[in-house]
Chain A
């Protein structure tokens, strides 16, 4: 069954006060994500991939089209606060900049306490909740001692991103939207972040959507790749198909320009 269905999604931004200009950021795109599936939305800056993610996260409303999560239209069928809370529990985001995801005035674990409070069945006392937080930190390969009581500036970027994933272990969402989750961490810790997300998928059947400009990352992790250009999906399919036999001019150019490790680019 499809966990998320996106149908004819369009977003038009209007600019200017006297003379209005319209920009079609997302133009009539459709795709779906199945249970336990990892897909990637690949495109350069301005291709509309983050706008798409924001609409799926229910942060900005679409101009037209539908987004069905677990069969429900997220923009029409979510009416009560309780229903919205439930949606936030089930759909989670991991953002690009782990530095901007934390409030510098509060300890890092605050973000985990917030996750605990969002749970449907919150732990009955503080001790139990703390156990849950510690457990989630261990899951993402962090010794709770290294994090608890610390402030954001005291831990590294890689650790911050891991704590964001620890939230996912507490909430166990059905869908994670990961917007460039590895672009601001060191190359040497990038692999670890990807592995953690893959483990979530293996153990919880979580569906994951990567939003990235890095076709190497998309090729490595995805079951399905969608290449976006100027608000439209221009190429879609299995990673081998998209990367090894691209058909659209743009994806051909993209694949042909990315430096490879085991082969030389043509025309240098």
Chain B
């Protein structure tokens, strides 16, 4: 990690879905920093709070999601601005598209089949008060950069294949050169050949400086491993482990990370040798999560303290943080 300048940070964020009768603690006491010039991968099972976390990062907070506690900062022109103190409308107007952009899950399926691709650019120009033709010529260039013929701008989404649509979406999303790009499960619906092309486009954008940092959300660890500098493992609304990618793949610390890595099935001799294991049980309901460490009912190393106290996320090796009592003094 060459550059350790912080681009974004959140402190002790609690974001809950407040429903009529229950509260779902989707993101519970999470602190996270994103550095400049890095790709950070966020992994976890369905329902672990990955997507909610991405909504907090971009301050896309709409009822029933509520920011209960914590602060979110984004560096703008060298200064940290507390975006959590602004309203969603304000953040949207000031920063979305220009500073921070989110490509939600299945965004490519949200393209209206009967609206031409160029129309989306025109909408964008209108909402940001930019000259339409200027943005259209920029879009042509950007389409070429992601490996699409600019002719496709004049076509309808249904004429594009899945892989092409996903690239078109990323081209449109980054047209104002946002500093921070968040992509949520962008490769899950693509076949492996198109997945690789998409990852290539993403890395190309970072190299060219179109975007500075990327948050890549997925359940597919092998994909994250290909492009990320650091990996964040989420479990039941909390961060279990944050670590540089090589180190976490070689030596996962948190028992949940170990279980997750051991369930990965890729065509490699190492996998055939080690076999696959399963994590017993199922992820907890976040309305009423388990006491102490939320992983303790499924953990084979669980100790008494795990049932009583919540393990803090602590740096136990250089750049490696883990929330597990196995690595802490209190265990005795």
Contact = CB atoms under 8 A, between A and B. Distances in A.
Q: Do A and B come from one complex?
A: yes
Contacts of B223: 259
Contacts of B277: 191
B271 A220 contact: yes
B265 to A, nearest CB: 4
A253 to B, nearest CB: 6
User: Interface residue tally of chain A, by bracket?
Assistant: 35 or more
Interface stretch (A58-66, A79-87, A143-151, A181-189): A181-189
Contacts of A261: 221-222, 225, 249, 261, 264, 266, 268, 270-271
Contacts of A213: 191
Contacts of A215: 267
Contacts of B279: 188
Interface string A231-268: 00000000110011000000001111111111111011
Contact of B199 (A187, A217, A268): A268
> Which one of B200, B265, B270 has the highest number of Cβ atoms from chain A below 10 Å of its Cβ?
B265
A192 B281 CA distance: 12
B38 to A, nearest CB: 16
A261 B226 CA distance: 8
Interface in B1-55: 45-46
A interface, over-half SS: helix
Nearest to B194: A257
Given A187-B45, A188-B259, A220-B272, A257 B266 contact: no
Interface of A: 44, 156, 186-192, 194, 213-220, 239-240, 243-244, 253-265, 267-268
Given A190-B263, A259-B225, A260-B268, 16 more contacts: A187-B219, A188-B263, A188-B282, A190-B265, A194-B276, A216-B271, A219-B268, A254-B193, A258-B267, A259-B222, A260-B226, A261-B268, A261-B271, A262-B270, A263-B268, A268-B227
Interface of B: 45-46, 191-193, 195-196, 199-200, 203, 219-223, 225-227, 249, 259-261, 263-272, 276-279, 282
17 contacts: A186-B45, A187-B263, A188-B259, A190-B278, A191-B263, A215-B267, A216-B271, A220-B271, A243-B267, A244-B269, A255-B267, A257-B196, A261-B221, A261-B266, A262-B249, A267-B196, A267-B200
